[in-house]
Amino acid sequence: MPTFKKITVSVIVHANLKQSWEALTSPSHIVNWNFASDDWCCPRATTDLKVNGVFNYRMESKDGKVGFDFNGKYTKVISQNLIEYVLGDDRTVSIELREFGEKTEVIESFDAETENSLELQKQGWQAILNNFKKYTEMIAPSNP
């Protein structure tokens, strides 16, 4: 098994843990935030959120010229706390949620791939997480 460098990104979301978990794991929400820039989109998302369940997120440029499937298999799921999965190239990802009153910290650690610089990967994953924060705060009721 190859050795990968680990990258970590995080955000504080002004939404409670339940709201954050729902936005993070529900395909109807994922399609609204899972892209790094405004010229990309996520037209489809499927998840089977359980150990050995699989997910697939379709990532595409809005002009339809470029796209790819981001998919993997869940290796650990603790509701409203932790998701771990492995990608097809054996890289691993861990997403931890920590509740702070009506706020939720989301910490995502992932194995870097070798085609792009570490900084570019960190920026891209952070941009997606920032979109998650923006979307979740927009849909979360202010007084849950």
CA 121 to chain centre: 13
In a domain, 92, yes or no: yes
If one counts the domains in the chain, the total is 1
**pTM of the shown model:** 0.93
What DSSP designation does 14 have? S
Report, as an integer, the average pLDDT of 4-20: 96
In a domain, 10, yes or no: yes
Least confident span in 3-7, 41-45, 104-108:
3-7
131 class by beta-carbon count within 10 Å (0-12 exposed, 13-18 middle, 19+ buried):
buried
What CA dihedral angle connects 58, 129, 37 and 7, to 10 degrees? Answer: -90
pLDDT tens digit sequence for 33-56: 999 999 999 999 999 999 999 999
In a domain, 23, yes or no: yes
Residue 122, domain CATH: 3.30.530.20
In a domain, 1, yes or no: no
Strand pairing partners for 67?
60
In a domain, 13, yes or no: yes
How crowded is the C-beta side of 96, counted as CA atoms within 13 Å? 7
* Domain span holding position 126: 6-139
In a domain, 60, yes or no: yes
